[in-house]
Amino acid sequence: MSACVRIRHDHTARSSPPSRASGIKRPHSPPPPRRGGRFRIAGADLSASITVFLIAVPMSLGLAVAMDAPLEAGLISAAIGGIVAGLLGGTPLQVSGPSAGLTVVTAELIQIYGWRTTCAITIGAGLLQILLGSLRAARGALAVSPAIVHGTLAGIGVAIALAQLHIVLGGSPLSSAAANALTLPEQLGRSSPAAPLIGALTIAVLVVWPRLPGRIGRAVRRLPAALASVAIATAVAAVAAPGIARVDLPSWRSHALPELPQGPVLALATAVFTVLLVASLESLLAAVAVDKLTADRAGGRTADSATPAPAAPPVQRSDLDRELRGQGIANVLSGLLGGLPVSGGAVRSSANVRAGATGRAATVLHGVWVLLAAGLLVTALEWIPLAALAALVMVVGFQMVSFAHIRNVHRHREFLVYGATITGVVLFGVLEGVAIGIAVAVAVALHRLARTRITVTDQNGQHLVVVRGQLTFLAVPRLSRALGQLPRGGDAVVELDGFFMDHAAYETIQHWSDAQTAQGGRVVFTGRSGGRIAEPASAAHSCCRPWTPWRNHHCHDQPDRPVDARRAAATWVAFPSGEHPTADQGPTGSGRAEADAPGANAAATADPTGGFDTPVDGAAVPRRPGAHRLASGLSSFQRNTAPLVRDELARLAREGQRPSQLFITCADSRLVTSMITASGPGDLFTVRNVGNLVPPPGAEAGDDSVGAAIEYAVDVLKVESITVCGHSGCGAMQALMSTGPDAPQTSLWRWLRHGLPSLERMRSRHHAWARISGRLPADEVEQLCLSNVVQQLDHLRAHGSVARRLAEGALQLHGMYFHVGEAQAYLLAEGASAGSGIDEVFDRVGPGDPNHARPYDITDLSDPTGLSDPGDHAAVSAPAAAADPADPSGSGELERTSA
């Protein structure tokens, strides 16, 4: 059974996008202009910049070694990435520098074209980044399948690790990942022990350093693991292996600058495009990751644990187009000055966020420190063993193969795309691997779109047609063949399990259904859970459904708007079996129905006059709003709901009512009892009056109607429980608070006199105040609403039929409070409901809360109509106690108070 909810898209002032001046900003949109251009340096930014600098120096040198580029080029790109991209980029906390993702690409370019042409290629990629950022194309880069992106980075990580392993073993890497893997046994045979031991020491420190225990461990962990591992390996190598290969920084006078590129134009263009693609994707993905880390830090938790993090000021979200332009300018300058390609780095950026950086100053200062180190610390840097840097970069490569990403793509059935991309990058190259990943992703999507399983079975004369997968024109021949095998005029159930149906499949099913119905057959459409789905014709203009979850349920309450405008301002979304929608499905009620569905009857269309009655002479006169709502509601019920509940109501008419619950609540129009209790026809025997009052038996000027309902429910219907439900903002309780003893003798006041004992109870010193779990009542009116529920339960116990059934143990009483504004229900603790004098605390009922029993035990009645929604067809058994057995007195709640 399908319930449809209207989602409004009215372009009113309330739903219009916020103005820039409002300060409200969407994720990844340009930040509002800064007021004042002064560059501020906070203490947290200064300390964070030093932390990132200590990571960036060994990382930049290691990546330069991995690319077989001049070592000073790594320092140049780190300085330019920090200063230029930090000032001009769109992600304030992102730290840019030499790109780990471009290691394989750059190494191949240097080998083929030489270093100076590679610098020119970097300049060309930077110019294209500036162009794409100016065209606001950055967001489109994120449309690439995450399986392809993460597969590309993982493949690059594997290639980096294989290449650096040769350096750790004391050799030199070859030109490709496959060659490095094949020659690895030979390298193992001729390696000397010094370099592997230094590399192993570096890796061991990297792994152990963040896990050092105790107070000393917390103190030393302030030093980054990358710097600590390289420093320890350098110190050990200086003593134990003085002849090991070390960093060799040539004189700045011999530094090579770019030259005009030489080579085939197509090959050079491909190289520029490859650098552009990898650098841009890596930078944009890192920007999104930085936003997430910043949001986690602002929320008081670290990104990788549930431990509280120190509070941090809010930081603007990333402007991806500006970030792409900033990266482009940094790449142009890095290429002009003879540096490596630049991109945003996840390792450096995450370290910057965790170190407490608050703005761009940390990123820029890190670049300044790198620049100073390149000029002043050359002698110290030349003591670093190459094996230590190679081990550091090898660990970075392994970290690019994220097991979290593997689990994620496997969960979304994208592992084939992920694996194909990794294989392509490792065996053929980055650009080829991306192309292979895209081709496999398209093939998988087409396979899923065309893969539709259709089975037909005979179940005691009724045919079951099960359709698994998406229904497109590709599946129409098999669908027509399967439906054509069914006997004409026979009964059939069509079970649709998919989230998409195109027009060709829709018409095929619709025409077959019309033909079967015309020849005396009966066709029922269901979803996978067995819930019955509304017929296509009636679903075309369906709205909401009573006593089930809905939003904006007064879809027909806009008589002053044209019908077309009303339809255009809404989206039809189906809720199969009361669940939330996942996607548009089709004419079966599992999704959006066609507005021009074949066979849709005229009664299903809305009033063409837009809320006017048209007399015989043709003159339109305004229709009264009350009459319009009543007529529209009745028409909606007859069109949408009556066909689906007719069998259930017919059963109840034959068998009579057997509710298990008497529900006494207020007449307030905001309390929809069937909605808040998820109940349906035949479940609740409901009594509604002003103030949910229960006059005690024999009360002066009493009203026998409530007593008669109680007696009938207890003695005749044999209900198992009675619930008294109050609510927030009750007008009856407000009237009791404000009316004095000389109130006028009206019918309303004579009725409200039955609430005076509740008022006395609240003001008495002999009764503890009723309370809500976790907080005090908001005001005196809410306190009176809570006390009134407890008092009316006392009145209930005074009725003879109720007292007799309570003594027999065949009846339970429950108190309930419903906060309208919060849509939150509270149940009175078991002891207070039983009148045993235990603290009167209303406990919050949460979804799936193990400490609370559900107020209603919804069970399926196995009705042959196939209604499976709890709001459509459910039985309500006696509520269980809502109190926590470990805390019967409500300890841990607010202290008891009394007036």
* Secondary structure letter of residue 29 according to DSSP: S
The residue annotated as part of the active site, out of 730, 753, 761, 799, is: 730
To which H or E segment does residue 652 belong? helix 642-655
The residue annotated as part of the active site, out of 150, 317, 592, 727, is: 727
CB 81 within 8 A of CB 367: yes
CB 29 within 8 A of CB 319: yes
Active site residue 670: yes
Active site residue 730: yes
Instruction: Write the secondary structure of 58-103 as one string of H (helix), E (strand) and C (coil).
Output: HHHHHHHHHHCCCHHHHHHHHHHHHHHHHHHCCCCCCCEEECCCCH
Active site residue 727: yes
- Please give the sequence-ordered ranges of beta strands (E in DSSP) within 592-683, or none if there are none: 612-613, 621-622, 661-666
Left (φ > 0), alpha (ψ -120 to 50) or beta: where does 578 sit?
left
Q: Which has the closest alpha carbon to 516: 495, 483, 482, 488?
A: 488
CB 452 within 8 A of CB 469: yes
Cα separation, 829 vs 681, in Å, equals 28
Reading the block at residue 698, the tokens are 């024999």
* 3-class SS shares of the chain: helix, strand, coil, % to 5: 50, 10, 40
The residue annotated as part of the active site, out of 407, 670, 775, 804, is: 670
Reading the block at residue 828, the tokens are 């009175």
Strands 492-497 and 523-526 come out as: parallel
Q: Which has the closest alpha carbon to 441: 468, 426, 421, 471?
A: 421
Q: Which has the closest alpha carbon to 96: 109, 87, 108, 107?
A: 87
Cα separation, 97 vs 88, in Å, equals 14
Active site residue 463: no
Cα separation, 132 vs 759, in Å, equals 71
To which H or E segment does residue 411 belong? helix 403-411
Instruction: Write the secondary structure of 124-158 as one string of H (helix), E (strand) and C (coil).
Output: HHHHHHHHHHHCCCHHHHCCCCHHHHHHHHHHHHH
Strands 684-689 and 523-526 come out as: unpaired
Cα separation, 562 vs 610, in Å, equals 5
Cα separation, 873 vs 855, in Å, equals 17
The amino acid that residue 533 corresponds to is I
Q: Which has the closest alpha carbon to 788: 689, 891, 888?
A: 689
CB 855 within 8 A of CB 882: yes
CB 574 within 8 A of CB 550: no
Q: For the chain, what's the residue count?
A: 899
Contacts of residue 149, Cβ cutoff 8 Å, sequence gap at least 6: 281, 285
Sign of torsion, CA 726 728 731 736? Answer: positive
The residue annotated as part of the active site, out of 291, 319, 668, 872, is: 668
Residue 605 dihedral angles phi and psi, to the nearest 5°: -85, 155
The residue annotated as part of the active site, out of 4, 543, 555, 666, is: 666
Sign of torsion, CA 102 434 405 160? Answer: negative
Active site residue 4: no
Cα separation, 638 vs 625, in Å, equals 20
To which H or E segment does residue 728 belong? none
The residues annotated with a catalytic role in the active site are 666, 668, 670, 727, 730
